[in-house]
Amino acid sequence: MKVLIVLLVSACSSFGSTTPSIPGDNSHYVKGVSRYIWMPDGNGVPHLVDLKAEGHPVDPKTGAKNEYRLFTRFNQYNYQVLEFNNTNSVRNSNYNPNKPITVIVHGFNSDGDASVNQMVRNALMHVDFYNVIVLDWSKSLSILYPVSVEAVPSTGEYLGKFLEWLIDNFGGDWSKVHLIGHSLGAHVVGNAGRAVGGRVARITGLDPAGPEFGGSSHALNTADAQYVECIHTDGGLLGIYDPICTSNFYPNGGRNPQPGCLLSTCSHSRSYEFLSATIRYNRFIGIRCADVDELKNNLCNGGELHMGNTQFSKEGYV
């Protein structure tokens, strides 16, 4: 059963092939029609993207290029690289199998230093000891968005294989594994969860990328983990508006503009800012909606549900 939740959270026209002129402004965008859209890089700077660009076929093993960066309270700002199938890289690291594993995955035109990684990592370190693994998949990304979309399944599959190898050989608890992905990264973690048979305890999709993922079999879905939540902040533009997760949170209606934002690219980034706040303080509580119409008309009056946080038990979510 999918759940829709609306929150009110505060925080500081061209069509087809016509090129939009205002950086970050996606008011022109029409799903399935528009060729161009503005997308932010890892630092929130908008770049114009051609959704119809053609490139070379993606190597199905492109996920082998993934880099896994470990952060703990002993090395909060200086990562240690965990190399898939390299036992010494883990033995010589601060990995602790008795602590939860949280993986953070950036989106398009980003890398391991993207703002989402830094903000969520620091929030986690603020509250407890975690094995925070930042996935840098920039070597599989292309400046061509459609090519990057094709790299998502392999990137997620290899992330899943890496987690299986890590836990099988060095210990860890699947019931304490939390995968967090922003934009394209949300679909990466979905594919990772699928690769390990849904054993992951929790997945959080931060405004999952919309272009090229409507109805896609590679999109994040409810079966990818024991609990799958989405935080929609730019639905219908850079993000998916449909309730694709088990619990779907729509802060301020889930669309652009979010508070403090004028542009779609800003609203798209609000998702990880909201998550970081919930990790630190866990004060964002949504009201359950019966359906999308109730959500759109701000008529939700059901039960309450916590957005974000770091809980793993079912009791922690409600």
* Residues that are catalytic: 183, 207, 268
3-state class (DSSP) for residue 87 = helix
CA distance 176 to 195: 17
Task: In whole angstroms, give the CA distance from residue 314 to residue 318.
Answer: 7
Q: What angle do CA 90, 275, 79 make, to 5 degrees?
A: 25
CA distance 65 to 135: 10
Alpha helix (H) residue ranges in the chain: 87-91, 115-127, 145-170, 184-195, 264-281, 292-296, 314-317
CB contact at 8 A, 80 and 73: no
In angstroms, the CA 154 to CA 133 distance is 18
Beta strands in 45-159 (DSSP E): 46-50, 67-71, 80-82, 101-105, 131-136
| Residue 91 CB neighbours (<10 A) | 10
Rounded distance, CA 229 to CA 301, Å?
Answer: 20
